Structure 1
Amino acid sequence: MEKTTEPSLDLIWGLEGIAQAIGRTVRQTHHMLSTGKIPAKQVGNRWVIERSKLIAFFMDSAA
């Protein structure tokens, strides 16, 4: 029987984790998330984003 490998998601959870990943303060990151400037989703009361989407977002906006 063949084992199928699904791609694993590299998720960044929480305001602090996202802030650290983008090199911003928690306050700056909260503003960017709540105004929709970062394409993250809110799950319950926590923010989450896939690392590759976050990188792609900033690579796009830098171009």
Structure 2
Amino acid sequence: MYDLHDLVQMKKPHACGTNRWEIIRMGADIKIQCTGCGHIVMMSRRDFDKRFKKVLVKAAPKADADN
């Protein structure tokens, strides 16, 4: 569904007018950063799932460092 560094859209736009957020931390809580103004919001995974609308851009897969 969503992963670290994905750009996501939430149901309501941010006060700056942008509705694009980057997921910068995942765990029991999820931290997202507004791509417009840089504001950071941390919320529980349950709250995030209720406010999440869709993934706009999937993060590029990491290159394997062992090669």
Task: Please state which band the TM-score falls in when normalised by the shorter chain.
Answer: under 0.3
- Decide which structure has greater strand share: 2
- Mark the structure with the bigger radius of gyration: 1
Higher helix proportion (structure 1 or 2): 1
| TM-score (normalised: structure 2) | 0.25
